[in-house]
């Protein structure tokens, strides 16, 4: 029996309402490729954001069958409702009573959905947190000290990257040489005080929903000629990233950030069915960042998720100069600029 869900198997649903806010995250070491059901092919490491987040209200009630409705940004969304229904059905072995639930969801983001800023991470972790909250309401004597582990486990089943969004600061997910890491859920990572809070300014190059989903991208790694080499690289970069974060080495961290971002998109470009999510303005922004760093020696680095939008990572010690550079030299390349930073994690509303 599953240790996270087993205690909640033999209960009866009753009405409950929960509202949680959960952040997006930016993966410093990327998870790209799966083995089995939502099991990562390599460990990953991410930083929770502060301003890019999802707020989700879920109303649970008894019903004669499982029914899910979902309202996104004030509009009914049957496609996402179906995803949540499939997700809940996947929990039936451990939680058979979910088949007798009415689930009504209202959710909204502070940033563009489906554009490669990890909206699935914030959205599905927010829903998983409301579901975890419901479990604890139904069985109030459940262990509180593993609430977020349980929420991370439930988030991971819905979306791999979502399991890292239930913790603030930095978190790791996936079996590794690092003590206590696991494929089942994410764990928080303590880092050097100088890197405990970094700026992450997001250049929204395009807010349009991307034409190849992350789920499809993961599937295309199954037959990728370079897959095993990529997984080996990611495992090595994971160990190096943990080391730089713990030592406070911002330059070493920046090198890994950019290598990981470019490797992720290289996998897309060299896929058996190749595709590109980068835009011309993405490349122009990358070149501008490199030029700025060469000329000033200021530690400004970039990362990318599975989309065209650039995350600019930098310490507070250079914030004024870098913010000026972003506003004056990069704003014409973006639809919107989101000045974000390391976040404290989710909260119950």
pLDDT in tens, the chain (349 residues): 578 999 999 999 999 999 999 999 999 999 999 988 889 999 999 999 999 999 999 999 999 999 999 999 999 999 999 999 999 999 999 999 999 999 999 999 988 766 556 688 999 999 999 999 999 999 987 777 899 999 999 999 999 999 999 999 999 999 999 889 999 999 999 999 999 999 999 999 998 888 888 889 999 999 999 999 999 999 999 999 999 999 999 999 999 999 999 999 999 999 999 999 999 999 999 999 999 999 999 999 999 999 999 999 999 999 999 999 999 999 999 999 999 999 999 999 9
pTM of the shown model: 0.95
Please count the other Cβ atoms lying within 10 Å of the Cβ belonging to residue 100: 15
Q: Extract the tokens encoding 3.
A: 């240790």
CA 223 to chain centre: 24
Indicate the CATH number for domain 6-190. 3.30.230.10
Closest CA to 191 of 303, 298, 47, 301: 47
CA 205 to chain CA centroid, nearest Å:
19
Topology of domain 197-341 in CATH is Alpha-Beta Plaits (3.30.70)
List the domain boundaries for the chain: 6-190, 197-341
């Amino acid at each position: 029996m599953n240790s996270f869900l087993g205690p909640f198997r033999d209960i009866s649903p009753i009405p409950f309402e929960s509202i949680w806010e959960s952040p997006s995250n930016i993966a410093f070491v990327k998870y790209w490729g799966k083995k089995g059901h939502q099991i990562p092919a390599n460990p990953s490491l991410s930083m929770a954001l502060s301003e890019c987040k999802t707020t989700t209200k879920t109303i649970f009630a008894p019903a004669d069958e499982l029914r899910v409705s979902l309202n996104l940004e004030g509009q009914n969304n049957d496609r996402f409702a179906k995803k949540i229904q499939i997700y809940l059905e996947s929990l039936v072995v451990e939680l058979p009573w979910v088949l007798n639930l009415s689930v009504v969801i209202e959710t909204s983001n502070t940033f563009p959905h489906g554009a490669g800023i990890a909206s699935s991470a914030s959205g599905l972790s927010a829903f998983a947190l409301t579901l975890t909250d419901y479990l604890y309401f139904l069985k109030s004597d459940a262990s509180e000290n593993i609430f977020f582990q349980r929420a991370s486990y439930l988030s991971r089943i819905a979306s791999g990257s979502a399991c890292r969004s239930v913790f603030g600061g930095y978190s790791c997910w996936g079996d590794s040489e690092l003590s206590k890491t696991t494929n089942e859920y994410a764990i928080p990572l303590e880092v050097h005080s100088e890197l405990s809070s970094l700026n992450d300014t997001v250049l929204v190059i395009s807010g349009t929903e991307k034409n190849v989903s992350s789920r499809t991208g993961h599937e295309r790694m199954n037959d990728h000629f370079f897959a095993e080499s990529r997984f080996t690289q990611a495992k090595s970069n994971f160990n190096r990233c943990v080391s730089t974060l713990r030592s406070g080495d911002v330059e070493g961290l920046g090198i890994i950030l950019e290598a990981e971002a470019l490797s992720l998109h290289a996998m897309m470009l060299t896929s058996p069915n190749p595709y590109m999510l980068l835009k011309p303005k993405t490349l122009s922004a990358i070149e501008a960042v490199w030029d700025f760093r060469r000329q000033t020696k200021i530690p400004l680095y970039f990362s990318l998720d599975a989309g065209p939008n650039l995350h600019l990572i930098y310490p507070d010690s250079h914030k004024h100069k870098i913010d000026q550079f972003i506003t004056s030299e990069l704003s014409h390349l973006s639809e919107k600029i989101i000045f974000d930073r390391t976040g404290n994690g989710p909260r119950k509303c």
